[in-house]
Amino acid sequence: MRLTRIWFSKKGRAKYISHLDLYRTFTRAVRRAGIPLWYTEGFNTHPYITIALPLAIMQESDREAVDIRIENDMANEEIKQKLSATCPEGIEIIDVRKPWDDPKKIAFADYTVMTQFANSDDAKKFEAYILKSLKEEELLVEKMGKKNGRKVMKEVNILPLVNKTELALKGSELRIKMTVAAGSTNNLNPALFIDAVSQKAEFKPLSVNITRNRLLTENLKEFE
């Protein structure tokens, strides 16, 4: 048995596959490819498939990682070739190799957020609101949290979760590149950031398209 890491992109129609559904999708793709999946022992046996970091539904990604355990008799190159043919539209296999970093090491992620506005004035206004928000002490959003075991809405300051932003305005389109906290302890969905700014601005973009570009470790090095 060995562990192998599959790097893939998730675009177009595949962005509608939710995180949970992605497990089933991969299990089946791997089975179709005839890759010898390793199964757990015992009565309720199941394969070992772990997605490094959940990606929100309706967001695209250039580079995601999934780890699978296989019986040790297929080369990575062959896995790549076979799996490429059995993934649904929008999921492309980029690379298959030995995992280097533990998924727990993921601390940040790079995103590109494309926002579209009715006109260039709105886009400019929104840009100004972003810049202003970033300079303030806090940017609060309502998040579902737990208090004494009960589910409650609580306010969270998301500013500390934003590491870097880079804005580019082009007509009625505003592109936001951002590096934000990612992982199981701290995690920021950029959609939440846009929502928070929209609330301040009291208007929101006509459309928001989010792409995750890469996963990063603690010291902002690429997760391998």
Partner 1 sequence: MLYERLDKILPNVQKPGRYVGGEYNSVIKDKNKVDIRYAFCFPDTYEIGMSHLGMKILYSLVNAREDAWCERVFAPWTDMEEEMRKNNIPLYGLESLEPIKDFDLIGFTLQYELSYTNVLNMLDLAQLPIKAADRKELTPIVIAGGSCVCNPEPMSEFIDIFLPGEGEEVTNELIDLLKEHKKKGSDKETFIKEAVKIKGVYAPSLYDVSYNEDGTVKEIKARDTAPEKVEKRIVKDLDSMYFPDKFVVPAIEVVHDRTTAEIFRGCIRGCRFCQAGFLYRPIREKSPETVNQQCLALTESTGYDEISLCSLSTSDYTGLPSLLEKLLSWTTDDRINLSLPSLRIDNFSDDLMEKLLEVRRSGLTFAPEAGTQRLRDVINKNITEEEVLSTAKKAFSGGWTAVKLYFMLGLPTETLEDVKGIAELAQKVVNEFYNNPEKPKGKSVSVSVSAASFVPKPFTPFQWEAQATPDELKEKQDYLLESTTTKKVRVSFHKTPTSLMEAVFARGDRRVSAVIESAWKKGCKFDSWDDQFDFDKWVEAFADCGLTMDFYANRKRSFDEVLPWDHMDYGISKAFLIKENEKAHNAQTTPHCREKCAGCGTNKLNGGECHALNKNMVQ
Which residues are near partner 1 by CB under 8 A? 12-14, 16-18, 21-22, 24-25, 27-32, 34, 39, 45, 57-58, 86-90, 206-207, 209
User: Nearer to partner 1 by C-beta: 31 or 143?
Assistant: 31
CA gap 216, 187 in Å, rounded: 12
- Per-residue tokens: 222: 């690429």
Shortest spacing between CB 131 and partner 1, in angstroms: 26
The DSSP bridge pattern shows strands 2-10 and 60-70 to be antiparallel
CA gap 39, 42 in Å, rounded: 9
User: Nearer to partner 1 by C-beta: 57 or 220?
Assistant: 57
User: Nearer to partner 1 by C-beta: 39 or 100?
Assistant: 39
Shortest spacing between CB 128 and partner 1, in angstroms: 25
User: Nearer to partner 1 by C-beta: 34 or 171?
Assistant: 34
Shortest spacing between CB 87 and partner 1, in angstroms: 7
- Per-residue tokens: 206: 């006509």
Shortest spacing between CB 84 and partner 1, in angstroms: 13
CA gap 30, 211 in Å, rounded: 25
CB 64 within 8 A of CB 10: yes
CA gap 86, 1 in Å, rounded: 22
User: Nearer to partner 1 by C-beta: 41 or 137?
Assistant: 41
Shortest spacing between CB 60 and partner 1, in angstroms: 11
User: Nearer to partner 1 by C-beta: 38 or 99?
Assistant: 38
Residue 136: exposed, middle, or buried by beta-carbon count in 10 A (0-12, 13-18, 19+)?
Answer: exposed
CA gap 141, 117 in Å, rounded: 22
Task: Please give the radius of gyration of the chain, using alpha carbons only, rounded to the nearest integer.
Answer: 20
Shortest spacing between CB 206 and partner 1, in angstroms: 8
